[in-house]
């Protein structure tokens, strides 16, 4: 059985510290800086409602915000598995979200970016099953996109 070299295990934390690694939820990390301090724009559609809900679950609701998060959400649907009669058996729901985090003190954009992902659902059952699959796919897509946005926010240089 191959065991890792003990010297590597002991020196790994030093190497991470030397490269500027800061734990996200440690002192001075972005997790602590952003937790309960981000005001997410209010939702205006079903997609934005789901995304705001997911983001507030991860970042917390702010009573005293220091940052504001704005988003532009675009979703589209791609038909897959089309049979000879032209019926679609599967769909991909594609989401692209542009986001920007700005400081409420200065009004300056601290970080911004675009995230994109997709999820699929089946359309081979009844109408009710297909509708339920589409709604579930919408929830899953916004969940995945919220994870991507939060990851980007945690990795950003917030200048704090």
- DSSP character for 64? S
What mean pLDDT comes out for the span 71-92?
Answer: 88
Q: Percentage of residues in the chain with pLDDT exceeding 90?
A: 56
pTM for the model: 0.80
Does the pLDDT value for residue 33 go beyond 80? no
| CATH classification (class only), 23-155 | alpha beta
Q: What is the pLDDT of residue 8?
A: 59
- DSSP character for 157? -
Q: Which of 80, 96, 90 is nearest to 142 (CA)?
A: 96
Q: Give CA–CA dist 49/113, Å, rounded.
A: 20
Per-domain residue ranges for the chain? 23-155
- Any idea what the Cα angle at residue 120 is, between residues 119 and 123, rounded to 5°? 155
Structure tokens at 28: 């001075």
pLDDT for 131-143, tens place per residue? 999 999 999 999 9
Q: Which of 141, 80, 140 is nearest to 116 (CA)?
A: 141
């Amino acid at each position: 059985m191959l065991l890792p070299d003990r010297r590597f295990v002991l020196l790994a934390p030093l190497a991470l510290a030397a490269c500027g690694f800061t734990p996200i939820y440690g002192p001075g990390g972005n997790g602590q800086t952003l937790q309960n301090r981000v005001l997410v724009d209010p939702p205006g559609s079903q997609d934005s409602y789901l995304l705001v809900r997911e983001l507030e679950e991860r970042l917390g609701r702010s009573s005293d915000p220091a940052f504001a998060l704005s988003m532009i959400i675009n979703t589209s649907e791609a038909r897959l598995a089309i049979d000879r009669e032209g019926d679609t058996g599967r769909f991909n729901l594609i989401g692209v979200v542009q986001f920007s985090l700005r400081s409420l003190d200065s009004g300056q954009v601290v970080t911004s970016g675009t995230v994109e992902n997709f999820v699929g659902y089946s359309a081979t059952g009844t109408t009710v099953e297909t509708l339920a699959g589409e709604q579930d796919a919408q929830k899953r897509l916004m969940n995945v996109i919220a994870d991507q946005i939060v990851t980007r926010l945690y990795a950003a240089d917030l200048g704090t």
